[in-house]
Structure 1
Amino acid sequence: MPNAAPAPGQQPAAPLLGIGQVLARLTTEFPDLTPSKLRFLEERGLVHPARTPSGYRKFSQNDLSRLKLILTMQRDCYLPLAVIKDYLADVDAGLNPPMPGAALPGGASILQTGRRLSREELTREAGATPMLVQDAFSASVITPAETYGEDSLIVLKALVELQRSGIEPRHLRGFRQAAERELGLIESALMPVARRRDPSSRVKAAELAVEIAGQLEVVRSSLIRSALSRIVP
């Protein structure tokens, strides 16, 4: 049976796009975009393309706009994917959040002047005890500072939950060492790009650093899941 014609005044649905078509539309503006980066953004839950019965990804016009926004926020504002994901979650929930990294009067940035917490506020909002916060400092899981951002709040909330399972900050001392080792890997990978001094290379290095960090997180999560399958069959 032929497809029904759209009702008068109704626009026909735009065709879905495969990965190759998405790249063709976006790589002029974002030349570092690759199929693996598209798949990575999906793995991190930032985009949700449809799937054909054969498993091929299909992107709508909304997906295309969303991808363009994500890539622009990475390139122009140097934002980590976690910040972008939180922003998009608020948008999806019907909220009207301020754009992370958007310029404020006087040239300030939301990332620089956004929500900051004192130590007391951080402790209260995380539901932590002052002792747990001090232990987190001692274990170098959180760095002492005059004020703290959302990242510290997320980490402290996780420490609160871990403590309920008997895991204390002192048990996580190796995490700082592991993070430093990962940083060394990222710095080595960025060296060929970082040697160049032009602005476009700095942007490329920032994007690449975020992507490498995300890929390392994928590997680490996979190893943990694999190990868990041996503990909890």
Structure 2
Amino acid sequence: MLQSRSGGARRGTAAAKSAPMSIGAVLNLLRDEFPEVTISKIRFLESEGLVEPQRTPSGYRKFTAADVERLSRVLRMQRDHYLPLRVIKEHLDALDRGEEVALPGPARPSDAIDPFGSREGGPASAAAPQDRDPDGSGGADAPRTARVGRAELLAAVGAEEEQLAEWESYGLIGPAGDGGYDAEAVAVARIVADLGRYGLEPRHLRVVKASAEREAGLVEQVVAPLRRHRNPQTRAHAETTARELATLAVRLHAALVRSALKTRPH
């Protein structure tokens, strides 16, 4: 059954419900302990294979008490241990097999782990930065805070100084305040360089940058209330929510581009 933070049973637990529940009912059960959870978050966890609700013939999700307990366990491991979803899924799979798996002690927020697999503040590899695939599945171990110099960036992406200056002039990439480039900047530079080999110049990519900025604005609209929330745990998870929303936005963007290409005349 669902447990409170102190470990006691709570009133109205999912275990007390034998009938399948809608996603809205699940949300109401979870929000007492996890006020930041949303329907989008539940759907995202489903898309990552953390929970597999049944589907009605018309396609509606139906959750069991076991599904709700599994979701609660996932959310607690994120909240209390800052574990990436990949590690959480491995832990749950081991429990399903009847294995006993010990969890690490609660992590400090400064040691937070990206839910897609990267540890903030981890070691960088400028020579082989890992990009995220459009569906958000790749580049899970890409570093996020370490920086590289200008020469290292050029060597990593195989570009010339003139190219980098042009990318910067169009706002596609830029150094941080200390003059270094983070892993995201390296990833952008590599993609821009690859697109250039197909004849796409930085001026052609302004529309992509504008679209990304609008999508970032949508994510910020959702996350801003979480950052101002009076619950410190909710505030601490604002960035996790932002990353999850960003990944979903990237997936949607990629799917829409593929769909648009299919409808164009050949």
For the aligned pair, the TM-score class normalised by the smaller chain equals 0.5 to 0.7
Unaligned runs of 5+ in 1: 1-19, 88-98, 103-110
Residue in 2 aligned with 1:213? 246
Choose between structure 1 and 2: higher helix proportion. Answer: 1
Residue in 1 aligned with 2:181? 148
CA–CA distance in structure 2, aligned partners of residues 168 and 180 of structure 1: 19
Give the alignment's Cα RMSD to 1 decimal: 4.4
Residue in 2 aligned with 1:37? 41
In the TM superposition, what whole-angstrom CA distance separates every residue of 1:152-172 from its partner, at most 9, and x where no partner exists?
111111111101100112211
CA–CA distance in structure 1, aligned partners of residues 228 and 191 of structure 2: 37
Residue in 2 aligned with 1:123? 154
Tell me the secondary structure at the aligned position of residue 172 of structure 2: coil
The alpha carbon displacement at 1:130 in A equals 1.4
**1:183 lines up with 2:216 in the alignment:** yes
CA–CA distance in structure 2, aligned partners of residues 156 and 149 of structure 1: 11
CA–CA distance in structure 1, aligned partners of residues 217 and 42 of structure 2: 25
Which stretch shifts more, 168-177 or 148-157?
168-177
TM, length-normalised to structure 1: 0.58
CA–CA distance in structure 2, aligned partners of residues 150 and 159 of structure 1: 14
The alpha carbon displacement at 1:118 in A equals 0.3
In the TM superposition, what whole-angstrom CA distance separates every residue of 1:105-141 from its partner, at most 9, and x where no partner exists?
xxxxxx78x6421001001011112122111101111
Is the Cα–Cα contact under 8 Å of residues 111 and 120 in structure 2 kept in the other structure?
Answer: no
In the TM superposition, what whole-angstrom CA distance separates every residue of 1:189-215 from its partner, at most 9, and x where no partner exists?
334434434423312433332233233
Residue in 2 aligned with 1:14? none
Is the Cα–Cα contact under 8 Å of residues 36 and 234 in structure 2 kept in the other structure?
Answer: no
**Aligned CA distance change for structure 1 residues 232 and 174 (closer, same or farther; 3 Å):** same
Unaligned runs of 5+ in 2: 1-22, 85-107, 123-142
The one of 148, 157, 164 aligned to 1:133: 164
**Aligned CA distance change for structure 1 residues 232 and 214 (closer, same or farther; 3 Å):** farther
**Aligned CA distance change for structure 1 residues 84 and 126 (closer, same or farther; 3 Å):** farther
TM, length-normalised to structure 2: 0.52
